[in-house]
């Protein structure tokens, strides 16, 4: 069992989960994820690593409460334990001295981009971090990100903080400054990944995005996470989860992610009555 050290809602609907998992953090690297079981019998769900501490052996995750499993996670209190935290899984984000890198985080991705930002800065890159959210009260970890960024650009759709606009606005700002990035890295929901690919492809540099496919084992055994990248079948859990968005078949990915929408909704409405 893995003990919960902390669980708190950091902004509406997004929770920080700190769990004691010393084996998992031993060799963990930015861009990797874990699979957790929120409780006995739960689904196995993938969640990205947002931070870790080798000394205390703890792993931090930022997750959004969207359904049954994340709903169960959101009820955890310090001292509780969950049966599975396995990882770190997936290929780490490629960290190198690229030059200038734009790091974009939205939703839970403002958390999971943090280790990437930190590692890139430590490698001597110029890091421009973009935080994206609907409104001011949905942005978090600004200070943490700023510590390792040369510049932090805040975008809110309602204009309540930073610049008003979506991911496109970030591109406008970068273009105005005349900066030529050598790489773009985005973490967050599918929409953010897709839009980032669309809006930033013109720089003609890799646009690395994390693909949130459905997963079960996370070890390449089941193939449910398969997606098409550059015309080839890839398994997001072992070949990814990060791919160059410019090569991803987005339409297929969007459809594959809809496979269990019916069932998941059904389950939420029926939980507690014992089922049929």
Ligand X SMILES: Cc1cc2nc3c(=O)[nH]c(=O)nc-3n(C[C@H](O)[C@H](O)[C@H](O)COP(=O)(O)OP(=O)(O)OC[C@H]3O[C@@H](n4cnc5c(N)ncnc54)[C@H](O)[C@@H]3O)c2cc1C
The residues binding other proteins (CB under 8 A) are 23-24, 26-27, 37, 41-44, 68-69, 83-89, 216-217, 219-224, 226-228, 233, 238, 252, 255-256, 258-260, 263-264, 266-267, 270-271, 274-276
Closer residue to ligand X (CB): 1 or 75: 75
Query: Which does residue 108 touch among ligand FES, other proteins, ligand X, none (CB within 5 to 8 A, set by kind)?
Result: ligand X
Phi-psi region of 160 (alpha: psi -120 to 50; beta: other; left: phi over 0): alpha
Query: Which does residue 56 touch among other proteins, ligand FES, ligand X, none (CB within 5 to 8 A, set by kind)?
Result: none
Q: For 181, how many CA atoms within 13 A lie in the half-sphere containing its CB?
A: 25
In the numeric block, the tokens 């998941």 are attached to: 264
Query: Which does residue 22 touch among ligand FES, other proteins, ligand X, none (CB within 5 to 8 A, set by kind)?
Result: none
Q: How far apart are CB 184 and ligand X at their closest, in Å?
A: 18
Stretch 201-220 residues interacting with ligand X (CB under 6 A): 210, 212-215
Q: How far is CA 264 from CA 39, 66, 171, 228, 257, in A?
A: 17, 10, 36, 25, 12
- Comparing CA positions, the residue from 174, 126, 133, 123 lying closest to residue 154 is 133
Q: How far apart are CB 154 and ligand X at their closest, in Å?
A: 20
CA dist 265 and 117 (Å) reads 36
Closer residue to ligand FES (CB): 179 or 216: 216
Per-residue binder mask for ligand X (CB under 6 A), 43-62, x = binder: x-xxxx------------xx
Q: What angle do CA 177, 178, 179 make, to 5 degrees?
A: 90
Closer residue to ligand X (CB): 68 or 160: 68
Are 166 and 132 in contact, with CB atoms under 8 Å apart?
A: yes
Q: How far apart are CB 235 and ligand FES at their closest, in Å?
A: 5
Bridge partners of 229, per DSSP, are 232, 248
Bridge partners of 16, per DSSP, are 8, 62
Which parts of this chain interact with ligand FES (CB under 6 A)?
215-218, 220-225, 235, 237
Q: How far is CA 82 from CA 26, 67, 126, 151, 168, in A?
A: 19, 17, 39, 38, 39
Q: Give yes or no for residue 64 binding ligand X (CB under 6 A).
A: yes
The residues of the shown chain that bind ligand X, judged by CB under 6 A, are 33, 43, 45-48, 61-64, 66-71, 108, 112, 210, 212-215, 241, 257, 260-261, 264
């Amino acid at each position: 069992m893995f003990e919960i050290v902390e669980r708190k809602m950091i902004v509406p609907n997004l929770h920080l989960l700190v769990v004691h998992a010393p084996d998992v953090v031993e060799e963990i690297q930015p861009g990797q994820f874990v699979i957790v079981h929120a409780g006995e019998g739960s689904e196995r769900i993938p969640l990205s690593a947002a931070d870790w501490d080798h000394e205390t052996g703890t792993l931090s995750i930022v997750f959004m409460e969207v359904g049954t499993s994340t709903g169960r996670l959101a009820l955890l209190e310090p001292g509780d334990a969950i049966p599975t935290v396995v990882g770190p899984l997936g290929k780490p984000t490629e960290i190198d001295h690229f030059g200038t890198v734009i790091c974009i985080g939205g939703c839970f991705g403002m958390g999971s981009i943090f280790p990437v930002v930190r590692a890139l800065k430590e490698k001597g890159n110029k890091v421009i971090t973009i935080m994206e959210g609907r409104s001011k009260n949905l942005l978090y970890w600004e200070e943490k990100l700023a510590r390792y960024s040369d510049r932090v650009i805040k975008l809110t759709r309602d204009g309540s903080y930073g610049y008003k606009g979506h991911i496109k606005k970030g591109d406008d700002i970068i273009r105005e400054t005349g900066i030529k990035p050598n790489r773009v890295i985005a973490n967050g929901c599918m929409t953010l990944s897709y839009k980032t690919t669309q809006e930033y492809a013109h720089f003609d540099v890799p646009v690395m995005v994390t693909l949130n496919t459905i997963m079960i084992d996370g070890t390449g055994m089941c193939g449910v996470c398969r997606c098409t990248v550059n015309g080839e079948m890839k398994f997001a859990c072992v070949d990814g989860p990060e791919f160059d968005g410019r090569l991803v078949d987005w339409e297929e990915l969007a459809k594959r992610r809809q496979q269990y929408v019916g069932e998941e909704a059904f389950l939420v409405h029926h939980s507690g009555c014992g089922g049929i």
